[in-house]
Structure 1
């Protein structure tokens, strides 16, 4: 199974390329014309709803400040020390176990998926 993803600004570009190599439909806010660095979280949340994309982030603002009903779903990594390979592998492993349609709200993901 593949996911439709939008990667937050704090996620390395290489994660995008690795996810695309796995066959996922991934975008990075740095390359979405209406976004870029320093884009606020609420427009990204709205974009995830409008385009049916799961947000990937290390940003705890999606935990603390953005209500779950404002976005499609979030894969939140609270361990920013994971390598780009690990992050991409974790997302891909999650996708092999849960169809995107089953993802709801905020999901904490990390090393337990490796």
Structure 2
């Protein structure tokens, strides 16, 4: 099952492209006219909630400074050394086991299970 994702500005374009190739509906903050680089976490969470999109980010503020119950869910890429393909494969595998509505906070790492 495919996820609807809003990729934060710190996510590589290659990751966004690869996730799209895997069938996921991905918007990248850098391409969203209502957001763009430097958007506040609150604005990002509001946009993601309105569009029913999980937030894919490397920014831990989404769960350390915000109430996760006020967001549609966060995919946190903790390991910033992962290649775009690895991130895409991990997120794609998650989507095979976890329905989007069941995601609150998931760590995107090579040992996510």
TM superposition score category, shorter chain reference: over 0.9
Q: Deviations over 1:46-85 (max 9, x none)?
A: 1111110000001011121111122100001111111111
Structure 1's unaligned 5+ residue stretches are none
**Aligned twin of 2:58:** 58
Q: Deviations over 1:73-108 (max 9, x none)?
A: 0001111111111111110010011121222x2222
TM-score, length of structure 2 as denominator length:
0.94
Q: Take 2:105 and 2:3, find their aligned partners in 1: how far apart are those partners?
A: 15
- Counterparts of 1:1-114 in structure 2, within 5 Å, are 1-103=1-103, 105-113=104-112
* Cα RMSD, aligned residues only: 1.3
Q: Take 1:20 and 1:39, find their aligned partners in 2: how far apart are those partners?
A: 23
Deviating above 4 A after TM superposition, structure 1's stretches of 4 or more consecutive aligned residues are none
Q: Take 2:101 and 2:69, find their aligned partners in 1: how far apart are those partners?
A: 15
User: Secondary structure of 2:94's match?
Assistant: helix
- The answer (yes or no) to whether the contact 1:90–1:111 under 8 Å persists in 2 is yes
- The answer (yes or no) to whether the contact 2:87–2:108 under 8 Å persists in 1 is no
User: Secondary structure of 1:47's match?
Assistant: helix
Q: Take 1:28 and 1:96, find their aligned partners in 2: how far apart are those partners?
A: 22
Q: Take 2:62 and 2:106, find their aligned partners in 1: how far apart are those partners?
A: 10
